[in-house]
Amino acid sequence: MIRLTLLAGYLVVCATWVPWLLSRAAWVSRFPRAAIALWAGLVVAVSAGAVAFGVMTARHVRWHAADLVWGWTRLLDALGGHLVVILCVAGALSAAVVVLRGVIVGTGSLWRLRRGWRDHVDALDLLARPLEDLPAVVLEHTAPAAYCVPTKGGRVVLTSSALRRLPPGTVSAVIAHEQAHLRGRHHLMAALAASLARAFPYVPLFHLVRPAMARLIELAADDHASRRFRSETVATALSVLVAMPLGAGALQAGTEGASERIRRLSRAPASGGRQSLAAMGGFLFTVASSALIATWAWAGGC
C-alpha cells in the first residue's frame, strides 16, 4: 500500500506542480519543440500512470476480496474494519471513469474536427484556386489570413486579401510556416490538448496544456520558417496576418501571441538538431520515470 501511495503522490506532482512550473518557465520560448515534447510526456505519463494506478488498486481489491465475503450480516462490519479495501475500490472505479471519459470525449472531439476539416477541404476544392508555382491555394476573402487544413493530404490556404497585402518575398515564408504545422502534426496536438481540457477541466495539467500547446506550436512553426527564410521576413508577414481564422479547426499564422512572436523573431532560432535532441530526451525521461515508478509499485505488490 505504501508503494501505491507513492505512485499516487507522483501522479499528483506531475499533474499539478510540474505543469505550473513549466507554464512559467522562460526557456520554453527558446526551445519550443523541447517544451512540446515535455508537455506531451507529462500527458502520457499521467494518463498511463492513472491507468496503472487503477489496475493496481483493482489487483489489491482482488487480493482482499475474501475479507468482504462474510455474508450480508457482517458486510458493514467488514467495510468498517477494512479502510484499505474501500480506498482501493474507490481508486479502481475512479481510474475506470477517468479512462472512459477521456476516450469518449477525445474520440468525439476528433471525429467532429475531422468532419469539419473534410467539409472545409471540399469547399476549398470548389471555391479556391491554386497559387501559381507555390504549394497553396487562394480563397477570395476580405480578411488577410493564412492557415492550413490537415486532411486529404493537407491544404495551405491564403486569402486574396493576404496575397495583396503581403510584401514581396514573404508569401513563401508564410507557406513554410503552415507546412511546418502539417508536417509536425500540430493539429493532432492541439486537438488532444483541447479534448483533455474539455474532459478534465479541473486537473491543472490538462487545463494548462491547451494554451501552452497553442503557443508552442506557433513558435515551433516560426522557427521552421525562420531557418528557411530570414527572421525579419517571417516577422513582417506575421504583422500582416492579423485576421481571425477562417477554417474549422484550422491552424493559422495569425494572432496567437503575435506581439511576443514578432519580438522573439528578432533573435536567431535555436538549431533544429539541438531542439530535436532536447525534445527526445525530455519526452523519454518523463515517460520512463512514470513507467519505472509504476513497475516498482507493481513489483512491491502495491
pLDDT in tens, 183-220: 888 888 888 888 888 888 888 999 999 999 989 999 99
* b (16+ CB within 10 A) / e for 164-192: eebeeebbbbbbbbbbbbbebebbebbbb
The C-alpha angle with vertex 296 and arms to 293 and 301, in degrees rounded to 5, equals 130
Q: H-type helices in the chain, by residue range?
A: 2-15, 17-23, 32-63, 75-81, 83-127, 160-165, 171-183, 186-199, 204-228, 231-240, 258-264, 272-299
Return the pLDDT at 181.
92
State the DSSP code for 166: S
How far is CA 166 from each of CA 154, 220, 240, 274, rounded to the nearest angstrom?
Answer: 22, 22, 7, 32
Per-residue confidence in pLDDT tens, the chain, 302 aa: 667 777 778 888 888 988 898 888 888 888 888 888 889 888 888 888 777 777 777 666 554 444 444 444 444 455 454 555 555 666 666 666 766 766 777 677 778 878 888 888 888 888 889 888 888 999 998 888 888 888 777 889 998 988 888 888 899 999 999 999 998 888 888 888 888 888 888 889 999 999 999 899 999 998 888 888 888 888 888 888 864 454 444 555 555 577 788 888 877 665 556 656 666 666 666 766 766 666 655 565 54
The C-alpha angle with vertex 73 and arms to 68 and 76, in degrees rounded to 5, equals 55
Return the pLDDT at 9.
82
Return the pLDDT at 287.
67
Residue 128 CB neighbour total at 10 angstroms:
20
Residue 239 CB neighbour total at 10 angstroms:
14
Q: Rounded to an integer, what distance in angstroms lies between the CA atom of residue 229 and that of residue 234?
A: 7
Distance of CA 199 to the CA centre of its chain: 13
CB-side neighbour CA atoms (13 Å) of 11: 22
Contacts of 18 (CB under 8 A, 6+ apart): 42, 205
For the whole model, what pTM was predicted?
0.76
What residues form DSSP beta bridges with 156?
Answer: 148
Q: Rounded to an integer, what distance in angstroms lies between the CA atom of residue 197 and that of residue 199?
A: 6
Region of 154 please: left (phi>0), alpha (psi -120 to 50) or beta.
left
Q: 102, 16, 4: which is closest to 53 by C-alpha?
A: 4
Considering just the CA atoms, what is the radius of gyration of the chain in Å? 24
Return the pLDDT at 208.
93
Return the pLDDT at 124.
87
